[in-house]
């Protein structure tokens, strides 16, 4: 079993190695928002290629099919209510955003938009759900141990304080969806929609520092109410997924 957990580190090491290579290339060609965005996409794509070659990422047409329509509906409701609740809660906690400037620059660049909204979500789902969580489940690790571990790794790898609790919470929901549906396509679609909304927010709602303060729009009381309602709906929908 020890080797099972050690092998879980392989996707992270591959991802880190590709990031390092892209960093070296960036230094050689010059850092700009465009080159950074392209480097992020290329490092992610090469990560998936390597993981596919060593058998930790698998592709099949079955990924696009699943007869459990109720599971799909419950998954979508659970994921998006979790996204809303945790996003607003992160704002109230005033967690620092050390990557705000970088994300704002990328959100205003077409290459950056593709990197954040499309390539990034697909790569992360294949790495953390298919390669890491899928490997743990196929190796006999119990459901919740596998889901929690993959969610923690998903949160930690982001490295940005404001993103860590959000990523862990979403990692738990996505992990459960993957476990029940065995479908990384569904989590990828939800992830793409979430990141696309984030890009739109940065373009239309953020201030000059890249911050979005929803209580300026809703008021603090209303925002807390939304968090509670979305949290309750998320719990109910999540129970439906796990039935």
Render pLDDT for 189-212 as a digit per residue (tens, 0 to 9).
999 999 999 898 888 876 665 566
Domain tally for the chain? Answer: 1
Report the predicted TM-score, pTM, of the whole model to 2 decimal places. Answer: 0.90
pLDDT of residue 96: 82
Please check whether residue 142 lies inside any domain of the structure. Answer: yes
Q: Cβ distance 84 to 226 under 8 Å?
A: yes
The whole-angstrom separation of Cα 132 and Cα 111 is 28
Residue 1 pLDDT grade (very low, low, confident, very high; cuts 50, 70, 90): low
pLDDT at 196 (0 to 100):
94
Taking the mean position of all CA atoms in its chain, how far away is CA 15?
Answer: 15
Q: Say how many C-beta atoms besides its own lie within 10 A of residue 66's C-beta.
A: 16
Domain assignment present for 40: no
Give the per-residue pLDDT at 88: 87
What is the band of 222 on the pLDDT scale with cuts at 50, 70, 90?
Answer: confident
Please state the φ and ψ torsions of residue 212, each to the nearest 5 degrees.
-120, 120
Helix (H) or strand (E) holding 220: helix 220-241
Q: Residue 242 has what pLDDT?
A: 72
185 assigned to some structural domain? yes
Q: Quick check: is 35 in a domain?
A: no
Residue 23 in domain: no
Mean pLDDT, rounded, for 48-59: 88
pLDDT of residue 98: 82
Task: Quote the Cα angle for 236-173-57, to 5°.
Answer: 145
Residue 96 included in any domain: yes
Cβ-Cβ contacts under 8 Å for 86 (sequence gap 6 or more): 165, 166, 169, 170
Please give the residue range of the domain that contains residue 152: 61-241
Is 32 within the bounds of a domain? Answer: no
Tens digit of pLDDT for each residue in 87-139? 888 888 888 888 888 888 899 999 999 999 999 999 999 999 999 999 999 88
Residue 147 placed within a domain: yes
Average pLDDT over residues 217-243: 86
At CA 63, angle to CA 62 and CA 64, rounded to 5? Answer: 85
Res 68: pLDDT: 63
């Amino acid at each position: 079993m020890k080797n099972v957990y050690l092998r879980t580190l392989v996707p992270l090491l591959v991802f880190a190695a590709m990031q390092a290579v892209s960093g070296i290339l960036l230094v050689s060609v010059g850092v700009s928002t465009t080159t950074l965005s392209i480097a992020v996409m290329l490092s992610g794509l090469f990560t998936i290629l390597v993981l596919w070659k060593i058998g930790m990422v698998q592709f099949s047409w079955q990924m696009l099919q699943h007869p459990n329509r109720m599971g799909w509906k419950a998954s979508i409701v659970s994921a998006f209510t979790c996204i809303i609740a945790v996003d607003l809660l992160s704002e109230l906690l005033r967690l620092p955003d050390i990557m705000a400037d970088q994300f704002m620059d990328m959100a205003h660049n077409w290459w950056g938009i593709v990197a954040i909204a499309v390539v990034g979500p697909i790569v992360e789902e294949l790495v953390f759900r298919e390669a890491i969580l899928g490997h743990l489940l196929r190796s006999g690790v119990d459901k919740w141990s596998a889901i929690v571990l993959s969610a923690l790794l998903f949160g930690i790898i982001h490295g940005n304080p404001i993103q860590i609790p959000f990523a862990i919470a979403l990692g738990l929901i996505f992990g459960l969806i993957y476990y029940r549906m065995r479908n990384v396509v569904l989590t990828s679609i939800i992830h793409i929609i979430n990141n696309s909304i984030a890009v739109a927010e940065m373009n239309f709602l953020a201030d000059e520092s890249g911050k979005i303060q929803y209580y300026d729009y809703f008021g603090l009381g209303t925002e807390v109410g939304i968090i509670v309602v979305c949290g309750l709906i998320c719990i109910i929908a999540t129970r439906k997924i796990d039935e």
